[in-house]
């Protein structure tokens, strides 16, 4: 580092041009980081420093940069060289400074605008124009951009606007004070390192050393620095085709990261518990077998040792492994059969690394056979032995597989199970009873909930019972025992003509137990909590309403409440023995590909 460490204010920083090299990460400041900075600046009051003409100042973290010359072309002018500062450390802060300056110019300054720094990106070519074109137009700020960097920048700009707007509404935002503190009293310690030659390798070494102990960098971003290092390409002057390869890696890297942010692709590949800051980490986790490691930078350290890159050829071969891994995942996604089977396995708990290893050196038919054998592990030997109380997780996986395989079995259908919609449900999914449980503990216990339960049932009983229930609901005094009597009478009425009593009777070889698989389906937790022990027609009505509004309902859940499994439907108000048996038969028939040894081996 240079020995001189000049203090530079924001007003000086915004008069420079900056270059973000390929080894740097994208913009990632969070909403809270933006707000914290704005609050700090707004609350800061400069004070005189004794025995000097200076005032105190608000200090941001240091910026490390080196001056470089770059060829540029502006408008219709000829190409010419211009001075830039390559940001080795501090691009997050400089970008945020740009965003605040741009906002001041757009909303406050009018014609007397502050200079805005030119920030160029080696691989993210669209970013400079995007930054300069940002406005507070609500539609623009709320747009989800396919490029994750642009999305973060737009989000940061929106945060600045919302913070200022909130301050103005409360009449707390001191506009002139904020601008003065921001431009003149907010400063950084400016470091310019001494580098050798063209300095690229030294810049990356400094970048890695500065960031290896910080939270903001991910394993993948440190690995990216290894790929771009000059010494990996040439010990002397870097060749033109090596420069091109460095550039191509940067572009491909951003393309892969962007494609992994496609929600249906990512949701199919990963459990909800896995959420790395940069999604390309998934590829390096697979290549190093460190996806489940918790130690900081474990992926980076293993990758650095496993893939020693000391030449341009090493870089090309290693990068090929990365792109081949990505292409493998893409091929899985594009195949309807692999998409469904792998998507189920990952959601059920099979590590993607195990699936990835089985795909290596396997033809598709052999790989499918291996997947079928993995899926077979989630299917019980005896479906009738499953019980809601002790096998809930197992049943949930089985019901999910029934939904997925139902879609997959229809070879004329091109639709896919939407893993992204299934996983985006913040409440999660529950195993739900189709026909209400009839034990007293399963019914609502509070008066408010008991009244609601009876009110919901009124539309599905005869006039005599409806009149009596209304009389009971109108009574100011409430008796839970009377509620239970009415609840049982409603269930008995709905079950009229069925071959079992309220508790259910056993037919040879079949189970009528309310907690068995034939009386269970998948339902999102929010609906389950609201309608958990409601009567069948109330649940059916809710499913129809959700379907009308476009809410995701798994296909087999919909089939259950539409009573599509029983070919001889007599009673739409009750889920009886025949319905359960028909439903169970469909589950077993749909999943027999995994229970028939010959079919599993040859599939």
pLDDT in tens, 456-483: 889 888 999 999 999 899 987 888 899 9
Phi, psi of 375 (to 5 degrees): -65, -35
pLDDT at 363 over 80: yes
Q: How far from chain centre, in Å, is Cα 303?
A: 25
- Model pLDDT for residues 566-580, shown as the tens digit of each residue: 988 878 888 888 899
Q: Residue 484: which of 515, 444, 456, 537 has the closest Cα?
A: 444
- Which segment, 243-252, 345-354, 384-393, 490-499, is predicted with the most confidence on average? 345-354
CA separation, residue 529 to residues 429, 431, 439, 526, 554 (Å) = 11, 11, 17, 5, 17
pLDDT confidence of residue 511: 42
Average pLDDT estimate for 293-312: 78
pLDDT at 143 over 70: no
Residues 372-393 as b or e (16 or more Cβ within 10 Å = b): bebbeebbeeebeebbbeebee
pLDDT band at 280 (very low <50, low <70, confident <90, very high): very high
Whole-prediction pTM value?
0.67
- Which segment, 107-121, 289-303, 364-378, 526-540, is predicted with the most confidence on average? 364-378
pLDDT band at 75 (very low <50, low <70, confident <90, very high): low
Strands 186-191 and 63-72: parallel
Q: Residue 242: which of 253, 233, 250, 251 has the closest Cα?
A: 233
pLDDT band at 132 (very low <50, low <70, confident <90, very high): confident
pLDDT at 279 over 60: yes
Range in 71-85, 372-386, 416-430 with the lowest mean pLDDT? 71-85
In the chain, pLDDT over 70 holds for what percent of residues?
A: 82
pLDDT confidence of residue 384: 87
pLDDT at 141 over 80: no
pLDDT band at 235 (very low <50, low <70, confident <90, very high): very low
Mean of the per-residue pLDDT values of the chain: 82
Residue pair 352/270 in contact by the 8 Å Cβ criterion: yes
pLDDT at 106 over 60: yes
pLDDT at 530 over 70: no
pLDDT band at 538 (very low <50, low <70, confident <90, very high): confident
- Which segment, 291-300, 369-378, 417-426, is predicted with the most confidence on average? 369-378
pLDDT confidence of residue 374: 96
Residue pair 12/188 in contact by the 8 Å Cβ criterion: no
Average pLDDT estimate for 484-497: 84
In the chain, pLDDT over 90 holds for what percent of residues?
A: 35
- Which segment, 112-121, 325-334, 487-496, is predicted with the most confidence on average? 325-334
pLDDT at 500 over 50: no
pLDDT at 527 over 70: no
pLDDT confidence of residue 588: 93
pLDDT band at 352 (very low <50, low <70, confident <90, very high): very high
Residues 514-524 as b or e (16 or more Cβ within 10 Å = b): bbbbbbbbbbb
pLDDT at 67 over 70: yes
pLDDT at 237 over 70: no
| Dist CA 297 CA 500 (whole Å) | 62
pLDDT top residue among 325 and 125: 325
Beta bridge partners of 70: 82
pLDDT confidence of residue 556: 94
pLDDT band at 185 (very low <50, low <70, confident <90, very high): very high
pLDDT at 596 over 80: no
pLDDT at 370 over 80: yes
Average pLDDT estimate for 309-332: 91
| Dist CA 293 CA 298 (whole Å) | 7
pLDDT confidence of residue 174: 93
CA separation, residue 20 to residues 23, 87, 134, 249, 497 (Å) = 8, 6, 19, 15, 75
| Dist CA 245 CA 485 (whole Å) | 78
pLDDT confidence of residue 428: 75
pLDDT confidence of residue 313: 85
pLDDT band at 504 (very low <50, low <70, confident <90, very high): very low
Average pLDDT estimate for 175-185: 94
């Amino acid at each position: 580092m240079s020995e001189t460490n000049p203090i530079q204010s924001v007003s000086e920083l915004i008069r420079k041009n900056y270059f973000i090299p390929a080894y740097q990460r994208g913009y990632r400041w969070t909403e809270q980081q933006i707000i914290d900075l704005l609050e700090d600046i707004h609350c800061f009051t400069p004070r005189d420093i004794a025995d000097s003409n200076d005032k105190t100042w608000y200090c941001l973290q240091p910026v490390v940069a080196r001056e470089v010359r770059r060829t540029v072309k502006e408008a219709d002018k000829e190409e010419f060289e211009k001075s830039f500062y390559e940001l080795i450390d501090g691009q997050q802060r400089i970008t945020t400074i740009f965003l605040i300056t741009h906002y001041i110019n757009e909303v406050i300054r009018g014609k007397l605008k502050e200079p805005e720094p030119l920030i160029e990106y080696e691989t993210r070519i669209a970013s400079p124009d995007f930054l300069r074109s940002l406005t507070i137009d609500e539609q623009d700020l709320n747009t989800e951009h396919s490029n994750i960097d642009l999305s973060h920048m737009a989000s940061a700009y929106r945060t600045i606007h919302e913070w200022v707007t909130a301050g103005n509404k409360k009449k707390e935002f001191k506009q002139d004070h904020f601008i003065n503190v921001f431009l003149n009293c907010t400063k950084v310690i400016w470091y310019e390192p001494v580098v050798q030659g063209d300095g690229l390798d030294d810049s990356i070494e400094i970048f890695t050393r500065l960031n290896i102990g910080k939270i903001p960098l991910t394993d993948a971003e440190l690995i990216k620095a290894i790929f771009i290092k000059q010494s990996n390409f040439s010990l002397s002057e870097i060749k033109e085709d090596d420069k091109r390869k460095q550039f191509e890696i940067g572009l491909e890297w951003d393309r892969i990261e962007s494609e992994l942010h496609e929600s249906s692709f990512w949701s199919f590949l990963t459990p909800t518990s896995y959420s790395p800051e940069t999604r390309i980490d998934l590829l390096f986790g697979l290549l190093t077998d460190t996806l489940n490691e918790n130690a900081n930078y474990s992926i980076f350290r293993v990758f650095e040792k496993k893939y020693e890159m000391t030449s341009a050829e090493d870089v090309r071969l290693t990068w090929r492994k990365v792109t081949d891994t990505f292409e493998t995942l893409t091929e899985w996604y594009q195949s309807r059969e692999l998409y469904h089977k792998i998507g189920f396995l990952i959601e059920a708990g099979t590590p993607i690394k195990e699936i990835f290893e089985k795909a290596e050196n396997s033809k598709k038919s052999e790989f499918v056979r291996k997947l079928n054998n993995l899926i077979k592990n989630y299917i019980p030997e005896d479906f009738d032995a499953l019980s809601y109380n002790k096998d809930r997780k197992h049943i949930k996986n089985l019901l999910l597989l029934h939904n997925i395989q139902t879609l997959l079995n229809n070879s004329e259908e091109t639709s896919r199970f939407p893993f992204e919609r299934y996983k985006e449900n913040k409440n999660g999914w529950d195993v739900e009873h189709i026909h209400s449980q009839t034990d007293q503990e399963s019914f609502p216990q509070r008066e408010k909930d008991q009244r609601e339960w009876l009110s919901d049932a009124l539309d599905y009983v005869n006039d005599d019972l409806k009149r009596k229930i209304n009389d009971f609901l109108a009574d100011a005094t409430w008796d839970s025992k009377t509620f239970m009597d009415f609840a049982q009478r409603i269930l008995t009425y709905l079950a009229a003509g069925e071959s079992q009593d309220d508790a259910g009777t056993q037919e040879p070889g079949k189970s009528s137990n309310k907690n068995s698989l034939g009386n269970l389906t998948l339902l999102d937790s929010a609906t389950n909590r609201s309608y958990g022990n409601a009567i069948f027609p109330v649940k059916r009505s809710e499913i129809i309403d959700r379907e009308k509004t476009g809410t995701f309902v798994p296909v087999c859940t919909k089939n259950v409440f539409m009573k599509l499994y029983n070919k001889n439907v007599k009673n739409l108000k009750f889920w009886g023995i025949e319905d359960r048996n028909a439903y169970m038969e469909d589950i077993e028939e749909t999943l027999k590909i995994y229970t028939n040894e010959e079919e599993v081996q040859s599939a």
